[in-house]
């Protein structure tokens, strides 16, 4: 099988619509909601239907809301360009407009991705159209999701959840939160399960909203769970602890969403490159693709290097999405795309500020904002270092216990 790197014709209209929304609403309101942190952009409600259309089947499963089949129906149909690539391309365009506003869109949360990835059919129907946030990180547990300390204790038909969760994107605004907790700390990663907790459930307390460097349009919450009772039907996936399968069930979420975080970084980096090119050319800097970089000005040579890095990240993200559409395991490619794009996004946006000097550093331009927004994309859903560790394990055939 081969990958066609052109945008499939069936996605062209969707990409155009996403770009139009980014240009006509996201860009003009980018600075407004960056300065008005924690203010919900109510105008986003009318764009929510468009973003629902970027999800798996337009049914409102949200970002990363792509379910993988067993491939039996598709094995003789050749290459597929499906929902993963569709969502990836749309995300790139929207983040060309504004990352924070995309993350503020209803039903586009990581929690929606978890529900789409591992929920059963009844749960899918029950939470259809709901906005779900995701609660993974804890005060003492950052990059190592396997070290989660929040507990879930079975009590009849309910589980009782206790613990704390921090850095929950859209936590205050979402209808429900997917909370990761362990059934038994002694059984390691295999005992970690995800539970859908509806907002307003007794004991589920919003402690505070965080003030952040970037993506300020998006709210980021800290929760405390104090004897929160959740019905057993709200547990996503199997309630059984399978030590052989380990962490695989909940990690399906990341295989879907890490390429999307890469897409976010690719989108904001492209915005920075385009604006920087405009400023450089207005200043008389010539960027010539027919001449070696070392024979051009330092600014032009730097720009060419940044653009090459961007292209590499873009291609890795396309590969990860294509593999998912074609029912191929993409854990390695998802982490490679996320690692490359996360680092590239930060490098590109910061260097663009440097290249444009006072124009890039001033709030008269969005370049400084894009530099702030891009940093989180190298951190959340697995830091740069964690992605490199995952890639090394996959390439060397080592387990998490063998390569730490």
In angstroms, how far is the first alpha carbon of the chain from the final one?
34
**Structural contact between residues 345 and 378, judged by C-beta atoms closer than 8 angstroms:** yes
**Structural contact between residues 372 and 100, judged by C-beta atoms closer than 8 angstroms:** no
Our CA angle for 265, 268, 270, nearest 5°, is: 105
pLDDT for residue 308:
97
**Structural contact between residues 51 and 107, judged by C-beta atoms closer than 8 angstroms:** yes
Tokens of 187: 């059984």
pLDDT for residue 237:
83
pLDDT for residue 60:
39
Residue 350, SS3 per DSSP: helix
Q: What is the pTM of this model?
A: 0.91
**Structural contact between residues 287 and 304, judged by C-beta atoms closer than 8 angstroms:** yes
- How far is Cα 321 from Cα 326, in angstroms, rounded to an integer? 9
**Structural contact between residues 299 and 128, judged by C-beta atoms closer than 8 angstroms:** no
Q: Is 295 exposed, middle or buried (0-12, 13-18, 19+ CB in 10 A)?
A: exposed
Our CA angle for 15, 132, 105, nearest 5°, is: 35
- Per residue in 113-129, pLDDT (tens digit) is 788 878 889 999 999 88
**Structural contact between residues 66 and 257, judged by C-beta atoms closer than 8 angstroms:** no
Q: Which of 37, 282, 381, 402 is catalytic?
A: 381
Tokens of 60: 């409102």
What is the separation of C-alpha 99 from the centre of its chain, rounded to a whole number of angstroms?
10
Sorted by sequence, the CB contacts under 8 Å of residue 277 that are 6+ apart come out as 287, 303
pLDDT for residue 144:
72
CA-wise closest residue to 204 among 157, 236, 164: 164
Residue 245 has phi, psi (to 5 degrees) of -75, -30
- Per residue in 358-376, pLDDT (tens digit) is 999 999 999 999 999 999 9
Active site residue 205: no
pLDDT for residue 84:
86
- How far is Cα 261 from Cα 254, in angstroms, rounded to an integer? 10
- How far is Cα 201 from Cα 258, in angstroms, rounded to an integer? 30
All structural domains of the chain: 9-124 (1.10.540.10), 130-236 (2.40.110.10), 248-396 (1.20.140.10)
Tokens of 147: 């070290």
pLDDT for residue 80:
80
Across the chain, which distance is largest between two alpha carbons, in Å? Answer: 73
Over its length of 404 residues, how does the chain's per-residue pLDDT go in tens digits? 567 778 889 999 989 999 999 999 999 999 999 999 999 998 888 787 655 655 443 343 444 445 544 444 445 566 788 888 988 999 999 999 999 999 998 887 778 878 887 888 999 999 988 999 999 999 988 777 778 999 999 999 999 999 999 999 999 999 999 999 999 988 888 899 999 999 999 999 999 999 999 999 999 999 999 999 999 999 998 888 876 555 555 567 788 889 999 999 999 999 999 999 999 999 999 999 999 999 999 999 999 999 999 999 999 999 999 998 888 999 999 999 999 999 999 999 999 999 999 999 999 999 999 999 999 999 988 899 999 999 999 999 998 889 98
**Full DSSP string of 329-349:** --HHHHHHHHHHHHHHHHHHH
């Amino acid at each position: 099988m081969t990958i066609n790197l052109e945008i499939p014709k069936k996605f062209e209209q969707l990409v155009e619509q996403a770009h139009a929304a980014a240009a006509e609403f996201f860009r003009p309101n980018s600075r407004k909601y960056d300065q008005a942190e924690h203010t919900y952009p109510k105008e986003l409600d009318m764009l929510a239907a468009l973003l629902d259309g970027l999800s798996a089947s337009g049914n409102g499963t949200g970002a990363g809301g792509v379910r993988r089949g067993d491939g039996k129906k598709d094995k003789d149909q050749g290459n597929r360009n499906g929902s993963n690539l569709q969502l990836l391309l749309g995300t790139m365009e929207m983040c060309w407009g504004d990352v924070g506003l995309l993350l503020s869109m209803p039903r586009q949360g990581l929690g929606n991705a978890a529900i789409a990835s591992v929920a059963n059919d009844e749960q899918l129907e029950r939470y259809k159209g709901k906005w779900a946030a995701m609660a993974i990180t804890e005060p003492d547990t950052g990059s190592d999701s396997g070290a989660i300390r929040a507990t879930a204790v079975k009590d009849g038909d309910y589980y009782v959840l206790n613990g704390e969760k921090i850095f929950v994107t859209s936590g205050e605004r979402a209808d429900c939160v997917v909370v990761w907790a362990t059934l038994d700390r002694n059984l390691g990663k295999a005992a970690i399960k995800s539970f859908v907790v509806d907002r307003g459930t007794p004991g589920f307390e919003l402690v505070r909203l965080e003030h952040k460097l970037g993506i300020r349009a998006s709210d980021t919450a800290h929760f405390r769970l104090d004897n929160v009772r959740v019905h057993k039907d709200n547990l996503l996936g199997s309630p059984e602890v399978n030590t052989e399968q380990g962490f695989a069930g909940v990690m399906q979420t990341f295989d879907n969403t890490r390429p999307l975080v890469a897409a976010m970084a690719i989108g904001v980096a492209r915005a920075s490159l385009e604006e920087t090119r405009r400023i450089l050319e207005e200043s008389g800097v010539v960027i010539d693709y027919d001449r070696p970089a070392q024979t051009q000005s330092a600014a032009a040579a730097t720009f060419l290097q940044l653009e090459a890095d961007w292209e590499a990240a873009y291609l890795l993200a396309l590969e990860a999405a294509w593999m998912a559409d074609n029912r191929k395991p993409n854990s390695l490619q998802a982490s490679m795309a996320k690692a490359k794009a996360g680092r590239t996004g930060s490098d590109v946006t910061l260097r663009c500020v440097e290249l444009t000097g006072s124009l890039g550093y001033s709030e008269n331009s969005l370049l400084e904002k894009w530099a702030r927004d891009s940093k989180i994309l190298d951190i959340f859903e697995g830091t740069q270092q964690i992605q490199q560790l995952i890639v090394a394990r996959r390439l060397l055939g080592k387990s998490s216990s063998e390569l730490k």
